[in-house]
Amino acid sequence: MNARVLALAVVAASALAGTAPAASPSDVAAWLHVRVEEPRQGSRGSRVHVNLPMTAVAAALQAVPETIASDGRFHLGCHGHGMRVEEFRRLWNELKGTGDAELVSVDGEDEHVSVSRKGDLLQIRVREDGERETVYVDVPAAVVDALFSGPGQELNVRAAVAELRTRRGDVVRVNDRNSTVRIWIDESAAPQGEK
């Protein structure tokens, strides 16, 4: 699997999950599921299946060293490179009011990238024709809002995970020539039937 695609899947799963309508508080506990399958021709392929209750994901934040995070918020160093969190936060606040729109579209010789706003979702789509690869990421606005609720240069990961616990559905789907990745949230500890 392409390292860039796997990195995108891991980032999306850990910070920006959930796509379906919010579940009611009376619903059973949410579970995060990750499936990575790499079939190989002529030999047995590899499969990774991870099933974690969202409460465990939230508890894992408690174990993150304070040099990286404190009080459920990750601190990002600037060092003069890239955009500051405040700038991303300001940009996100402006984009929230745009309604449905294609925000970014990049067409290359073998690749198409699209970032759109559709309803309550920020959608990221990547299609690489030469690699026969597709990436689908759907991020609810409420999760992004929760992530940006930290002050200054902090991302409030604890708030984003709390929001994820109310969500159900696919987070990330990646298909390429050599592998498939699916990350989703539902109420089942042992997921039934892949979509």
pLDDT at 67 over 70: no
Higher-pLDDT residue of 142 and 4 is 142
Higher-pLDDT residue of 49 and 98 is 49
Name the residue with tokens 């030469």: 130
Residues in the chain: 195
Question: Rounded to whole angstroms, how far apart are CA atoms 8 and 174?
Answer: 9
Confidence category of residue 150, pLDDT binned at 50, 70, 90: confident
pLDDT above 70 covers a percentage of the chain that reads 70
Confidence category of residue 145, pLDDT binned at 50, 70, 90: very high
Question: Rounded to whole angstroms, how far apart are CA atoms 142 and 120?
Answer: 8
pLDDT at 12 over 80: no
Confidence category of residue 192, pLDDT binned at 50, 70, 90: low
Q: What is the pTM of this model?
A: 0.66
Question: Rounded to whole angstroms, how far apart are CA atoms 181 and 175?
Answer: 7
pLDDT at 115 over 60: yes
Name the residue with tokens 């892949």: 194
pLDDT at 5 over 50: no
Confidence category of residue 146, pLDDT binned at 50, 70, 90: very high
Q: Are 168 and 185 in contact (CB under 8 A)?
A: yes
Q: What are residue 138's phi and psi, to 5 degrees?
A: -120, 120
Question: Rounded to whole angstroms, how far apart are CA atoms 119 and 23?
Answer: 18
Confidence category of residue 22, pLDDT binned at 50, 70, 90: very low
Please report which helix (H) or strand (E) contains residue 96, including its range. helix 85-96
What pLDDT shows up at residue 46?
A: 86
pLDDT at 92 over 60: yes
Reduce the secondary structure of 30-71 to three states and give it as a string: CEEEEEEEEEECCEEEEEEEEEEEHHHHHHHHHCCCCCCEEC
Q: What are residue 17's phi and psi, to 5 degrees?
A: -85, 170
Q: Please name the amino acid found at residue 161.
A: V
Confidence category of residue 84, pLDDT binned at 50, 70, 90: confident
Question: Rounded to whole angstroms, how far apart are CA atoms 31 and 52?
Answer: 5
Return the DSSP state at 109. Answer: S
